[in-house]
């Protein structure tokens, strides 16, 4: 019976150990971007720390193996359990020590986790377990625990509990292993009352944290964004936060501003109308991204447009902008328009599986701050888009800032040209973002900026449009290489450009 309990404990502690690693990687990716870099460095630090912990475990005396195992479970439960909350609050209120604290906590948890399995194996060995059976069982349950949490984390835990509450949950599981070990082996443990008291105290902290996780997250995001948070949710794809200050609504995705309601009309007029004004015959329009419905709002102003298909990955995004009154007011109820068709799917996969053709394609993805987003700015992706636009149709791409991120901006232009599209770069001043960039592209059309608009505009007219297609000396074209999937150079260019701005 005792052997089975120790073996089952390996399943739990393996699950918890991997969960803390995934939480650290996901949280740092949300807050710092570049998911490949974050996960790579965290995994490396964590595995190195496990090796250190495994080495240190040999110094635990044979007569105190179970006692030290209990102590380690309490320590890893406490440190790992509070890690997401501590890291998030640190980033929100005093960002400077975040990176150092991140790797210190990853190393501490990794070292403690590295001690767990060797101690369990020693405890089993003391109970006369055959070596081949010992290794087989321990490693089997270790890997099964890792499999379980690797499936549950992205599908259930992160989207439904959030990173902070998930951390506290796995901390409680570690403490639960400690409590069960104390109960089963109570006759063999020294300082039993002290360990019971510590276990109860740690469990109390973690339970309180689990209950108050939403409040902590709200407090942290208030420090991060400064304004009242009117809506927030963690989805399988991203963290969505909407804030309000007086009459200004702002959307943040993974901490990055997507729009301000005070000036979003500048961005969305510039994104949509230079293209659609030049296509008075356009009947079918495709929007990739744009889950806030604001570009859709502008497109639906054209009576000649009969159908707009919007493909956005996240149903939580389109759902919020379909049902929440303040957001529906902002996008003019565009999702409820009978000419609008909303599809929640990966844009690349959807393009691969459809044979539909469109007169115009509006691409409104978040900036290429990660490799998951960078693929949507790549040669293969634009090649697929080209197949679905009419020969004299137009494609418009949100292309980050040609002033703050010129290398990234001109990389996007080079990528579009690499698939045989004619490009017409332009820019507009949006106060919330500064100078912002877009690129028009067409398979065949010789594009000329419109001198006037059929529809009334708040920002655009003939003069402002002509100025948008002229680049001053400090935003001149750069010769860049296209963004290919195997290198994703755009993500690196984007990170380097914006790092200079932040400094």
Burial class from Cβ neighbours inside 10 Å (0-12, 13-18, 19+) for residue 44 reads: exposed
Model's pTM, two decimal places? 0.76
| Residues 269 and 253 both lie in one domain | no
The answer to whether 238 is a known ligand-binding residue is yes
Structure tokens at 419: 């698939």
Tell me, yes or no, whether 240 and 313 share the same domain.
Answer: no
Rg of the chain on CA atoms, in Å: 27
φ/ψ bin of 39: left (φ > 0), alpha (ψ from -120 to 50), beta (otherwise) = alpha
pLDDT mean by block of 10 residues, the chain; 503 residues: 64 84 85 75 92 90 82 94 89 76 93 85 63 61 78 80 90 91 82 90 95 82 74 82 89 87 96 97 97 97 97 94 94 96 95 96 93 91 96 97 96 97 97 95 94 95 96 94 91 87 63
First to last CA, the chain: 59
Neighbouring C-alpha atoms within 13 Å toward the C-beta of 273: 29
Structure-token pair, residue 163: 């990173």
How far apart are alpha carbons 7 and 1 in whole angstroms?
10
- CATH number of the domain enclosing 200: 1.20.1250
Q: Are residues 227 and 341 both part of a single domain? A: no
- Determine if residue 63 is labeled as part of a ligand binding site: no
Strands, sheet with 389-398, edge to edge from the N-terminal-most edge strand: 340-343, 307-311, 284-289, 358-364, 389-398, 434-442, 422-430
- Residue 469 and residue 390 share a domain: yes
Asked whether residue 142 is marked as a ligand-binding residue, the answer is no
Residues 205 and 232 in one domain: no
In sequence order, what E strands does 227-306 have? 228-234, 239-245, 248-253, 256-260, 284-289
Confirm whether residue 347 is marked as ligand binding: yes
Q: Give yes or no for a contact between 282 and 302, defined as CB atoms under 8 angstroms apart.
A: yes
- pLDDT at residue 99, rounded to an integer: 86
244 and 355, same domain (yes or no): no
* Domain-ending residue, one of 213, 248, 282: 213
Split into its structural domains, the chain has a count of: 3
Instruction: Please say whether the beta carbons of 393 and 358 come within 8 A.
Output: yes
Q: Are residues 321 and 254 in the same domain?
A: no
Q: 148 and 49, same structural domain?
A: yes
pLDDT given for residue 136 in this prediction: 66
62 is catalytic: no
- 269 and 251 within one domain: no
Q: Give the residue numbers spanning the domain of 319.
A: 264-502
State yes or no: 407 annotated in a binding site. no
CATH number at residue 247: 2.30.140.10
Nearest to 251 by CA among 218, 216, 294: 294
Are 244 and 386 members of one domain?
Answer: no
Residue 268 is assigned to a ligand binding site: yes
Residues 105 and 207 placed together within one structural domain of the fold: yes
Which CATH number do you get for residue 412? 3.40.50.150
Same domain, 209 and 226: no
Residue 34: the pLDDT is 64
Tell me which of 34, 314, 359, 364 is the catalytic residue: 364
């Amino acid at each position: 019976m005792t052997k089975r309990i120790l073996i089952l404990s390996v399943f739990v502690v393996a699950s918890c150990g991997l969960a803390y690693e995934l939480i650290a990687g996901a949280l740092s990716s949300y807050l710092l971007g570049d998911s490949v870099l974050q996960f790579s460095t965290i995994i490396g630090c964590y595995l190195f720390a496990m090796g250190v912990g495994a080495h240190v475990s040999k110094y635990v005396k044979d007569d105190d193996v179970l006692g030290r195992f209990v102590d380690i479970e309490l320590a890893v439960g406490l440190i790992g359990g509070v890690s997401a909350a501590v890291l998030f609050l640190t980033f929100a209120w005093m960002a400077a020590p975040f990176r150092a604290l991140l790797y210190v906590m990853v190393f501490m948890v990794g070292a403690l986790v590295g001690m767990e399995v060797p101690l369990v194996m020693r405890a089993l060995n003391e109970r006369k377990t055959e070596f081949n059976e010992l290794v087989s069982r321990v490693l089997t349950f270790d890997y099964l625990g890792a499999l379980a949490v690797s499936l549950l984390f992205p599908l259930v835990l992160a989207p439904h509990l959030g990173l902070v509450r998930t951390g506290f949950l796995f901390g409680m599981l570690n403490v639960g292993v400690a409590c069960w070990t104390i109960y089963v082996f109570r006759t063999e443990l020294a300082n039993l009352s002290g360990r019971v008291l510590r276990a109860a105290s740690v469990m109390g902290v973690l339970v309180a944290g689990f209950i108050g996780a939403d409040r902590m997250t709200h407090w942290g995001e208030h420090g991060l964004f400064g304004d009242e948070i009117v809506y927030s949710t963690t989805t399988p794809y991203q963290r969505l936060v909407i804030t309000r200050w007086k009459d200004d609504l702002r959307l943040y995705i993974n901490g990055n501003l997507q729009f301000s309601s005070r000036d979003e009309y500048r961005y969305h007029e510039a994104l949509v109308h230079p293209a659609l004004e030049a296509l008075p015959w356009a009947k079918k329009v495709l929007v990739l991204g744009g889950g806030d419905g604001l570009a859709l709002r502008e497109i639906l102003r054209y009576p000649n447009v009969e159908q707009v298909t919007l493909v956005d990955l996240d149903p939580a995004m389109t759902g919020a902008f379909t049902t929440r009154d303040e957001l529906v007011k902002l996008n003019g109820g565009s999702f409820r328009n009978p000419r609008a068709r909303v599809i929640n799917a990966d844009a690349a996969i959807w393009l691969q599986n459809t044979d539909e053709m469109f007169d115009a394609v509006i691409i409104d993805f978040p900036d290429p701050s990660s490799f998951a987003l960078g693929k949507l700015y790549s040669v293969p992706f634009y090649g697929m888009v080209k197949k679905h636009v009419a020969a004299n149709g137009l494609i418009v791409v949100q292309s980050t800032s040609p002033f703050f991120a010129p290398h990234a901006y001109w990389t996007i232009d080079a990528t579009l040209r690499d698939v045989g599209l004619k490009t017409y770069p332009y820019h507009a001043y949006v106060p919330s973002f500064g100078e912002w960039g877009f690129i028009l592209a067409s398979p065949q059309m010789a594009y000329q900026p419109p001198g006037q608009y059929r529809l009334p505009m708040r920002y655009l007219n003939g003069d402002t449009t002509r100025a948008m297609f002229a680049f001053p000396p400090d935003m001149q074209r750069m010769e860049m290489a296209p963004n290919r999937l195997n290198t994703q150079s755009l993500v690196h260019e984007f990170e380097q450009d914006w790092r200079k701005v932040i400094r």
